[in-house]
Amino acid sequence: MIRFLLTRGYGSTLRAVRKAGLPAAIRLMNYDRLLRARWLRRGTYIFSDLDRLGSWDLEQASHMYLHLKNAGLPVLNNPARFKNRYLLLRALHAAGLNDFRAYRMDEVDAPMRYPVFVRKEQGHHGPLSGLLETKADVVKTVEAAIQSGTPAENLLIIEYAAEPIRPGAYRKMAAFCIGHEIVPHVSVHDNKWLVKYGALGVADEGLYREELGWMQNNPFAGHLQKVFSVANIEYGRADFGFYQGRIQIYEINTNPHLEPPEEHTSPIRMESMRVGWEKYLKALQALDSGGGWPIRLPNGTLQKHRPWKNLLVRTRKVH
């Protein structure tokens, strides 16, 4: 059995995986139920959705991680070692794995490499600004965000590190870490620097053929192993691109949305989707540790250690 631990309302990300017919039983459990548990079924436990947990619940999840690990169960993603977007980007830069840096609001006077953009530390909606060329532009953007209700502590300034792969075409690549395996994922192509959902007609058969080669040969696996090691993430998806010939990591999502291969006008693209999906399922299946008698948790429920005013996990509503 493989059990994903998630925040309430975010289990749809794994709907396709649960329907894939793996020999391993795929189960979901939210953190509310986990932290109330006095016993748990044996299996592999994956702590996901870590960026949606508040600081108190992240600490309680860390205690539960230790309980499961001490009981001999395979567990992935230690919440106590989780790095938010700021800490992750700073750590990757310090390790020489990224050429750009992130700054908090009290670092606005730091010698940044412009252009930069402003975004929330929590969330997946993308930047709050376009590319900003001066400190004055940054200060103005930050003040507007605060005036609109975004707390200053949730704002980051990030140096821009992207470039088109050809005139008018940008590409965001991705890969999963699943235990000890790096599994490539299909790219997203767009006609603007902010690549999120993609745009039709940007990629042609040449780009799809190049992508298929990456999906089959996984040439960036060694580099990405170092990235996930610095991040202390054993299950998640890294989004990355190239800037001046070097890989740049933009974020790591511990609960990414997954979809099976779908219809596409390009047979090459469909083959890439098939290869990525099959590699993902194979790597996930390898995490299955079987079953067995349920285990009692050494200290029983962690609920008693939580403030009475906080009876439920107060997750951050992050998209």
pLDDT tens column, 1-28? 999 999 998 999 999 999 999 999 999 9
Distance CA 156, CA 122 (A): 10
Q: Are 71 and 295 in contact (CB under 8 A)?
A: yes
Nearest by Cα to 170 from 151, 196, 156, 190? 190
pLDDT tens column, 255-274? 999 999 999 999 999 999 99
Fold of 101-159: Dna Ligase; domain 1 (3.30.1490)
Asked if omega into 256 is within 30° of 0 (cis), the reply is no
pLDDT of 146 > 70? The answer is: yes
Q: Are 307 and 248 in contact (CB under 8 A)?
A: no
pLDDT of 30 > 80? The answer is: yes
Q: Are 217 and 236 in contact (CB under 8 A)?
A: no
Domain at 170-285: CATH code:
3.30.470
pLDDT at 254: 96
Q: List the helix and strand counts (H, then E) for the chain.
A: 8, 13
pLDDT tens column, 148-165? 999 999 999 999 999 999
Specify the DSSP element, H or E, that contains 146.
helix 135-147
Distance CA 128, CA 112 (A): 18
**pTM of the full structure:** 0.91
Distance CA 269, CA 250 (A): 24
Range 51-62 average pLDDT: 90
Q: Provide the token pair at 105.
A: 């609001």
pLDDT of 181 > 60? The answer is: yes
> Domains of the chain: which residue ranges?
2-74+288-305, 101-159, 170-285
